[in-house]
Structure 1
Amino acid sequence: MHTFRTSLAFWGAAVALVMTYAASASPIPLYETWRSVDDLSYSDLSLSSVIYFVGAVSALLVFGRLSDYLGRKPVALLALLLAGVASVLFLFVHSAWPLLTARLLQGLACGLASTAMTAWIVDTTKAEHKALPALIISVSPLVGLSIGSLGGGSLINFAPYPRTLVFVVSLLLLAASMLVLLFGQESVHRKPGVRSSLKPVFGLPKEGRHWYPAAAIAFSCTWAVGGFYQAFGPTIAAGYLHSGTPVAAAIVFASFMLPSVLGSTLAARFSHQRALIIGMLVFMLAMIGVATSLHFGLLLPFLLCSACAGAAQGATMSGGIRSLMSGAQPHQRASTFSVIYATAYTGAAIPTLIVGRLTSHFSLLELVSGYAVLAVVGWMLVTLLNLRTRLTAAQQETAQV
């Protein structure tokens, strides 16, 4: 029976997921300020993104199944608490260490949210709304990142106390999300086995395993670019698009993240295979356009191509989630989302770490061109793997007949 508390849990978890990611993006518009005023280096900023991804992957691998044993609610509340502590630490950033510590806590928070909150959303979905969870789960992180960067950029640019108010607002929103979740209906009964749940396990339902290689490549390519925008969006705005304000940095970041909602919505009209292939094709063309626009310093074409790339990311994420969740039972949901997000975060962390080391040898334009090449290779591999998987499935059906 779907009660009011069940609906409260569903929508509360969805909003809390958005708020957790919004809090993680709120400091991004301040990156250029910290670099110019507090002498943080490009390597520090790049490392902060890597630390964030490491925290998220660690939470996914170690604590990914924790909500299956403790319950969705306590793990979701812990995620919000960690995000709140991180917001407090940002108030004291005048060197690299507070920034790195806060970003680590934000990564842990997002990793926990990506399993407990997403599984809670699936658990409390009405039977007639089966397609809704994949849409919400695929767009919530990206919508949250967009809200956090744009809201943070606006507060930093136009409101008083530019290095303080944005984090106070984040704290208030996180506290409100915790209050709503406290009254939501728990969907999992606590059971023994918490210690064994901390052992990293990569688990996918049998029906979704053969789609993993193509989905993993798509996740890695698109999230790698998201990591680049996160670390260097403010620098791109200041150095190539001739606008160094926090709100300009937020717009550059959001131009990639926010259109993912449109991409995920459109992807729902296609099969998960077509969503992956078409999404990667659009992503490849858009990244070529991003590199070209930066070369000529064209703001409007850059934002347009970034938006297309972001929409493509949303499409590939939605298609990938649908393919990997095929046949997932309730007890498999948290571990499946752990695999999905661990793959995406790892795909973002490794290129960002490498790029951070290369900033002293190559210009950002050259690095963006490298991401365009990555998109080309990714599209080719996803297309070939998709074709091979479909041929294998057809051969198996013929053999059974």
Structure 2
Amino acid sequence: MSSAHTQPDRLGFWAASLSLIAVFAASATPIPLYAIYRAAENLTYFELSLTAVFYFISAITALLILGRLSNHVGRRPVVLLSVVLGMLACVVFMNVSGVVSLIIGRILQGLSCGLASSAAAAYVTDNAPLKPAWLAPAVTSTGTMVGLTIGAITSGALTEYAPLRTVIPYLPIFIGLAGCAVLLLLSRETSPRHAGALASLKPRFSMPTMSWKLFPVASCIFVATWALGGFFQAFGPSLAADKLGSTNALIAAIVFSSYMAPSVLGGPLTTRLSPAGAQRLGSIFFALCVGGLLASLMAEAVVPFLLASACAGIAQGAVLSGSIRGLLANAGPNERAGVFAVIFTTCYSGAAIPSLIAGQFARFASLPQVLSGYWILAIIACVVTLIAARNPVTSADTR
């Protein structure tokens, strides 16, 4: 590979970063409308839960099968495909007519997010400036959360206050995705085409050996933090209704976003720490914050709950950024997409499986009892991290 292909490109960095954010913003756009869909289409909670299951399954499928494709056909075509799938999903959601169209839309969004999680994240890393060193891990670890926040808040506001509330919320994100497509077409490719595209479709977890040694601790962190995000996604509207006494779609979106948005601060705040240091400090802070969430929820104290949620989001950003920095330390340009595929497959599984279990428990348990399970998960991840977290050993260190 020539040096021309490895030099950071500012336009490519912004195109990749905005695409990653926009794709996840699109995936959050339907959430504030679920109550409307349920009433208008006579949907059951089980049918609504099926849409989430199909979303997670399609995202994981895209990561497993297509996660390394951008190493062979180039970053831009795969990222562009993820953006186009997101635009198609918007069109489907503008014409919802029952659970089947909801499921089709969520499948398209899952495929879109799965592709972006590996290809767009790798494209961000390819094009990121060398300094500050925390920038690329911060974007790749929290860009998803920023996108979810933007999508939920925008959709919640438009759903509540705009006309044609089952159509209008999708227009801004459709336009934003179209803008990302233009930026991608103008950007420079960083991963030249080479043989092996078909072979790369065979599901395989691919990371450097040194990165696999750090993965057990990182996986505990990914599961615990994304599981809590799944809690807010599943129960955010219920929290707004039961604890804030509001059925306002915007309030529900704010509750959902109180955890997602602050995560962007975690990476920059821990830039002076080693990857293992960020993992240890962040995991302690995260476990304490989830405990604070549980206490404030039991006391029905709204302001402390939102504060604890925001602090948990910051801790999430810190541990995710530290974990990603460690896993990427030994990954070359042609290995980054595979690393991100492993990372986000773990993250999606961490969101999906606890959400399914929590959904069953929620039939007979209170929200504080459900949240206590997430606290136990955070404590387990914290203990594992404190015992086993290690800094990456690079090839330069072994010479």
Secondary structure class of the residue paired with 1:187: coil
Q: Quick one: which of 214, 218, 223 aligns to 2:226?
A: 223
Aligned residue in 2 for 1:314: 317
Shift of 1:32: 2.7
Paired residues of 1:226 and 1:348 also in contact (CA < 8 A): yes
Query: 5 Å matches for 1:262-301?
Result: 262-301=265-304
Q: Quick one: which of 157, 161, 171 aligns to 2:160?
A: 157
Paired residues of 1:52 and 1:104 also in contact (CA < 8 A): yes
Residue 13 (structure 2) pairs with residue 10 (structure 1):
yes
Q: Percent identity?
A: 42
Query: 5 Å matches for 1:2-401?
Result: 6-386=9-389, 389=390
C-alpha change, 1:303 and 1:350, in structure 2 (3 Å) is same
C-alpha change, 1:336 and 1:162, in structure 2 (3 Å) is same
C-alpha change, 1:155 and 1:308, in structure 2 (3 Å) is same
Within 2, Cα distance between the matches of 1:140 and 1:94? 31
* Stretches of structure 1 lacking an aligned partner (at least 5 in a row): none
Deviations for 1:126-170, whole angstroms, at most 9, x for unmatched residues?
A: 344543211211121111111111111111122222111011221
Q: Which amino acid aligns with 2:352?
A: A
Within 1, Cα distance between the matches of 2:86 and 2:19? 11
Secondary structure class of the residue paired with 1:269: coil
Q: Which moved more, 1:98-107 or 1:129-138?
A: 129-138
Shift of 1:201: 1.7
Q: Which moved more, 1:152-161 or 1:178-187?
A: 152-161
Structure 1 consecutive aligned stretches of length 4 or more whose deviation exceeds 6 Å: 2-5
Deviations for 1:168-216, whole angstroms, at most 9, x for unmatched residues?
A: 2211111111011111101122222211010112122233222111110
Within 2, Cα distance between the matches of 1:364 and 1:94? 31
Secondary structure class of the residue paired with 1:165: coil
Secondary structure class of the residue paired with 1:277: helix
Paired residues of 2:8 and 2:128 also in contact (CA < 8 A): no
Q: How many residues align?
A: 392
Deviations for 1:193-247, whole angstroms, at most 9, x for unmatched residues?
A: 2110101121222332221111100100110110121122112111222111000
Within 2, Cα distance between the matches of 1:302 and 1:128? 36
* Stretches of structure 2 lacking an aligned partner (at least 5 in a row): none
Taking structure 2 as the reference length, what is the TM-score of the superposition? 0.93
Within 2, Cα distance between the matches of 1:380 and 1:36? 44
Within 1, Cα distance between the matches of 2:280 and 2:23? 30
